[in-house]
Amino acid sequence: MSADHATTDHPVVDAVFETVASTAPEVRESLVGRRSYEEGENPSGEQQLEADIFADQLFEEALLALEGVGSYASEERDDVVEADEQSDEDYHLALDPLDGSSNVKSNNAMGTIVAVFDEPLPAGGDALVAAGYVLYGPLTTMVVACDEQVSEYTVVDGERTVNEDELTLPEEPTVYGFGGRVPEWTDDFAGYVGLVEDELKLRYGGAMIGDVNQVLTYGGVFGYPGLRHRSEGKLRLLFEGIPIAAIVEAAGGRSSDGDGSLLKKTPEALHERTPVFVGNDEFVERLELALE
């Protein structure tokens, strides 16, 4: 990697994100010819693309080969996969290997989400050591939060180059994006959105990583709420909620499940769902007031 000042004080964590970066080009190239759905579903009941399964296999093989990584869990698997050799000092990884994979067919943005814990999974925000994501957009970029600092990289040929080593949310937010079908929104949440859309511009692409990256770049708020017939929402706490909350909070923003920080939550099950809201402090605070 070409900028040592953006590495962390955790050698295994650095090795994890260097491995994710080196694997990212193969994941991106593998999307060609893997745009079809498989017959099965993932543990959350969603159809899996060939690309989902392939990315999951690539990351599992590469990351479990690292010394100091004790286990691997992903959104595409029922259970945690443990390394052949383990110690009490090992880190434990939770990945969404291909966030927004439904965008493969329409050729829109996708990403990979990585969370590093120092406790066996499922673990909560208090056990999170680092979190990051890769965004497969016009460029391949990586954002990593560790030790309350957020760094952004460009990934070229599997190597990371630092763009910004102290990334923070802009103080003048401009964008918003919310998931779920509008008729399924609760009245309280719909009322909040009505206020937000008078102040910010709608930016919603259907891949959480792309939408969150917009918020980090331009400031604003992103969320997937609890719905009328699914109060727990759609996103997974372990694979999406906690790592994205850690990144946004480290960048000076705020996260919430509608009541409080996602980093204060611990999933009882590997694939537990939760409402997710992240963004500039004022907009997340207003959301919590609206949902009281």
Q: Is 101 annotated as a binding residue?
A: yes
Q: Is 255 annotated as a binding residue?
A: no
Q: Is 287 annotated as a binding residue?
A: no
Q: Are 240 and 136 in contact (CB under 8 A)?
A: no
Q: Is 240 annotated as a binding residue?
A: yes
Q: Is 75 annotated as a binding residue?
A: yes
Q: Is 30 annotated as a binding residue?
A: no
Q: Is 96 annotated as a binding residue?
A: yes
Between the CA atoms of 279, 169, 149 and 122, what dihedral angle is there, to the nearest 10 degrees?
Answer: 20
Q: Is 281 annotated as a binding residue?
A: no
- Between the alpha carbon of residue 70 and those of residues 66, 88, 110, 147, 259, the distances in Å are 9, 9, 27, 21, 33
Q: Is 159 annotated as a binding residue?
A: no
Binding-site members for substrate are 99-102, 204, 234
Can you say which residues are annotated as belonging to the binding site for Mg(2+)?
75, 96, 98-99, 240
Residue set of the binding site: 75, 96, 98-102, 204, 234, 240
